A = this chain, B = another copy of it.
Amino acid sequence: HRNRAASSVRLPRRSSAFTVRAEGGINPDVRKDEQKVVDSVVVSELAKPLTAYCRCWRSGTFPLCDGSHVKHNKATGDNVGPLLVKK
């Protein structure tokens, strides 16, 4: 990971076994070394006719959706799902 905040603030080293989750936060674990997680899709570079992008912040292949929203929804009663990008 590249630490974007390194020049201004020294962030504590994170342990993968211990994640502090702020009250009301929605991203428990994705790239917490980045101040804001923004991803870009360049449409002309898409390989497949349909690509699913994660909006639940639980995917093991973030920013892609790997189906983890199903477990999250079941565990919490939530109703989130991916954004489908179609060529």
Contact = CB atoms under 8 A, between A and B. Distances in A.
Interface residues of A, number: 42
A61 to B, nearest CB: 14
B40 A79 contact: no
Nearest to A27: B80
Contact of A86 (B36, B41, B72, B80): B41
Tell me how many chains of this kind the complex includes: 2
A78 B41 contact: no
A56 B26 contact: yes
Interface string A31-71: 11011111111111010000001111100000100000100
A35 B79 contact: yes
A25 B87 contact: no
A14 to B, nearest CB: 12
A83 B41 contact: yes
